[in-house]
Amino acid sequence: MKKPTDISFVADKTPSAREARRACTRLYGNVPVRDAEVIVALGGDGLMLHTIHRAMGGAPIFGMNVGTVGFLMSEFNIERLCERIGRAEKVALHPLRMTARTRTGKRRTALAFNEVSLLRSSGQVAKVRVSIDDVVRLDALFCDGVLVSTAAGSTAYNLSAHGPILPLRSELLALTPISAFRPRRWRGAILPRRAHIRFQILEGEKRPVNAIADHREMRDVVDVRVAEAADKQVTLLFDPEHDLEERILREQFVT
């Protein structure tokens, strides 16, 4: 993209991120998010995820790591920032759309760029029926939970739950159980990104389950449907030497 002149700097609440924002603002100014050509997020992956939801459909986002992990962020360096953004590589991401119905009959929808996860909320294991494209694949999964991850989110919670890392352009989703008790040998599945996934909570009153789309939680769900939101998109920018696809590939060889 061309070198930006109108940049909006957003920062985490940590002292280091706020100081980074002040330093950037002194050099490049700062415009409101709605008027920006580019949004620069200063913090870690949590701040980046929040910024993605806030700016969806708007200006592209370039992250600089002033946090802990910073998997979705480029290196923090404020020198020649406009030139750096101008030569950055673009990655377009589509979120998952979660539609959930609660035990009281309420229906709610939320978007997730990392994952949609279902988690038990009591001492009883969850009992979940899993269907893919209207075909029941698991009549009863006994587990602490189960999640659906995008390729971009596959190195986050999904990886911690021993799910597969997905190459960014693979057009796949990861369906990963969390501490599955039965069937004991089921380790999850890799699905086409266009798949429609349905989770039916069995014995929900006895075995309550909460559903979470990134950071938005819905309690006591009984039916959760997950599919790609092809009508929603956000564009992330990365230094050519630190592009997201290369990072995801490298994660598969970490020892």
Tens-digit pLDDT string for the chain (255 aa) = 667 779 999 999 999 999 999 999 999 999 999 999 999 999 998 999 999 999 888 999 999 999 877 788 899 999 999 999 999 989 899 999 999 999 999 999 999 999 999 999 999 999 999 999 999 999 999 999 999 999 989 989 999 999 999 988 889 999 999 999 999 889 999 999 999 999 999 999 999 999 999 989 999 999 999 999 999 999 999 988 776 777 777 777 876
Report which of 66, 37, 62 is spatially closest to residue 51, judged by C-alpha positions.
62
SS3 106: coil
Angle subtended at Cα 83 by Cα 43 and Cα 48, rounded to the nearest 5 degrees: 20
Closest CA to 7 of 60, 53, 50: 60
Give pLDDT, residue 130: 98
- C-alpha–C-alpha distance, residues 101 and 124, integer Å: 20
133 is catalytic: no
- The confidence score (pLDDT) of residue 68 equals 78
**Spacing of C-alpha 74 from chain mean position:** 17
* Torsions phi, psi for 242 (to 5 deg): -130, 40
Residue of 6, 12, 35, 45 with catalytic role: 45
Q: List domains and CATH numbers for the chain.
A: 7-93+233-251 (3.40.50.10330), 96-228 (2.60.200.30)
Q: What pLDDT sits at residue 255?
A: 67
C-alpha angle 43-49-55 in degrees, rounded to nearest 5 = 100
For 99, the token pair is: 């539609």
Phi, psi of 15, rounded to the nearest 5 degrees:
-55, -40
Residue 26: CB atoms within 10 Å: 10
